[in-house]
Chains A and B, each alone.
Chain A
Amino acid sequence: DTAVSQTPKYLVTQMGNDKSIKCEQNLGHDTMYWYKQDSKKFLKIMFSYNNKELIINETVPNRFSPKSPDKAHLNLHINSLELGDSAVYFCASSHVGDSYGNTIYFGEGSWLTVV
């Protein structure tokens, strides 16, 4: 069973479109994340939700809107897509109980290409 699953894995879309990426985790974790990995492989946090509440909201354009309907799901909606949004988006989850470095489990990534 896949621990953190995200769909779609590949997405090619035109500028100006609106798209969503869905994420689900079956690990019973209380915290979920969205990370963006650019073409230079830099992995940068975008958002984090703990028990459905937004706790991290890095400097990200407000065209990006995360939604967490429950603890097991964290979706990412992107409005008015731009060329610079092309990247790999990783969903991840963890249990924030151990303050010394609980493991973050990543999904396989969603490859977004904006043309």
Chain B
Amino acid sequence: TQLLEQSPQFLSIQEGENLTVYCNSSSVFSSLQWYRQEPGEGPVLLVTVVTGGEVKKLKRLTFQFGDARKDSSLHITAAQPGDTGLYLCAGRSGYALNFGKGTSLLVTP
């Protein structure tokens, strides 16, 4: 199983602040995905990055895939309370999707 390390594990910020979440591995992935999980629900896909160095934007969220395809980052600009949740990165290994341990984000008004 290829391990994905996420940091920070917990993050509590105020509305309007910016933040970055990191996902690192010693393995190369053909693709990497970011999911968000809200309490009482299953994870929901935010984005898939495929090409090394790729940057994708989803409104205030910016995702980057490392050049070597071993790491990724998620940057949120001007965080809002609705961004609160568990952010999970996941790398594909054959049929399986292996997840990092997640970053729990709390955005307070």
Contacts and interface: CB of A to CB of B under 8 A. Distances in A.
Binding partners A and B: yes
B99 to A, nearest CB: 4
B73 interface: no
Contacts of A90: 42-43
B80 to A, nearest CB: 22
Nearest to B103: A41
Contacts of B21: none
B30 A43 contact: no
Chain B contact patch, size range: 20 to 34
B75 interface: no
A106 B43 contact: yes
B96 A56 contact: yes
A86 interface: no
Interface residues of A, number: 27
A101 B42 contact: no
A8 B11 CA distance: 32
B50 interface: yes
A40 B101 contact: yes
Interface string B13-46: 0000000000000000011110001001111110
B95 A41 contact: no
Interface of A: 4, 31, 33, 40-45, 48, 50, 55-56, 58, 90, 92, 96, 99-101, 103-109
13 contacts: A4-B42, A31-B95, A41-B104, A43-B43, A56-B94, A90-B42, A92-B42, A96-B95, A100-B30, A100-B48, A105-B45, A108-B40, A109-B42
